[in-house]
Copies of this chain bind each other. A is one copy, B any other.
């Protein structure tokens, strides 16, 4: 190793890091969380990662330099790999949220409310919205659905957003993406009130996610879901090489920023990357959100890698009920032979992403009620 890390933090375990954090630099949230509980503070800190200073301590230049060894043998294959069970994790999180919704109702005499805006008749969007609304019902969150025809104008959508912004009984607003081509998506998303932005796409939330020491009000659900899966499986992130495939504001960008908050070394691969398989093969952790079925082959992966597959790509399947089935970005049968842990599709990131939407909505409701006290 060419560098020794100051104070030996590179190998510290998570509890040690948190205790160091307590003694170390302060974390300055931008939002005053009036009366937020200790548990909530700890949750927020866990998902954003510990605040660690960068202390480089290079070896004296007189020491011999490391010699690259391209023929270094691969470590033995871990067997069997862990199949990360998103359904089960989502179930645990949703149970926890159900309890908190009951407590919320007891404290404030009302229930959290999520407003969903769905434009047009895309089958996939309709399915996702149905899942989200059902999930709300299951945990006791009220949902409102504004359904607009594909032919409506941008101003019609903005009008819906504004109505929900102004309605104090609504705590979270979700605009189902993608919007029809004739609409300015950025303009509509920017209109969502910062305090109801449960998707976390507002540029101020993104900026506060990017800047260490700051705390966004909301983190995009899929990014938060990826971190939940990694943290709950105690995957060490500090200093690990994480390759994020895809760079959308929905998944790739916020996940790359969140992994950096956890002190991973992050590489962002996208459709313009030359030889994406080469850089992906260097990764300790691969998070794929390219939206291309079976893009990531077994040959793209290092032995022992942890694979989080955010892709949910419909592919034709005459044997399935609807004539298609969902598959991930990662060729599962090949990857499972190489990885030490991997999420399946479906049943991996998807259910946890929906659980994170519920969690963000509950947070929005708590924040709104505390601010109005």
Contact = CB atoms under 8 A, between A and B. Distances in A.
Contacts of A299: 65-66
A23 interface: no
A56 B291 contact: yes
Contacts of A30: 186, 190, 203
Given A206-B210, A206-B211, 7 more contacts: A3-B271, A10-B272, A28-B184, A54-B246, A203-B207, A206-B207, A265-B267
Q: Binding site of A, secondary structure by majority: helix, strand, loop or mixed?
A: loop
A337 interface: no
Given A58-B295, A279-B282, A271 B70 contact: no
A92 B239 CA distance: 41
Interface residues of A, number: 74
Contacts of A212: 247, 249
Interface in A173-215: 184, 186-187, 190, 202-208, 210-214
Contact of A265 (B52, B204, B260, B270): B270
Contacts of A9: 272
Contacts of A205: 207
Interface string A66-108: 1010110000000000000000000000000000000000000
Contacts of A364: none
Interface in A19-45: 26, 28, 30
A356 interface: no
A54 B272 contact: yes
9 contacts: A5-B271, A10-B272, A54-B290, A58-B295, A66-B275, A186-B214, A210-B253, A212-B247, A263-B270
Given A54-B270, A274-B265, A299-B66, A61 B294 contact: yes
Contacts of A110: none
A373 interface: no
Contact of A290 (B56, B239, B249): B56
B274 A1 contact: yes
Contacts of A234: none
A174 B268 CA distance: 32
Contacts of A211: 186, 203, 206, 249, 253
Contacts of A290: 54, 56
Specify how many copies of this chain sit in the oligomer.
Answer: 2
Given A260-B268, A268-B266, A269-B265, A240 B274 contact: yes
B70 A276 contact: no
Contact of A56 (B10, B239, B257, B292): B292
Given A203-B204, A207-B208, A267-B267, A66 B272 contact: no
A3 B296 CA distance: 11
B207 A274 contact: no
Nearest to A293: B58
A210 B207 contact: yes
A270 B26 CA distance: 20
A272 to B, nearest CB: 4
Contacts of A297: 61, 65
Contacts of A246: 54
A272 B238 contact: yes
A65 B294 CA distance: 13
Contacts of A58: 292, 294-295
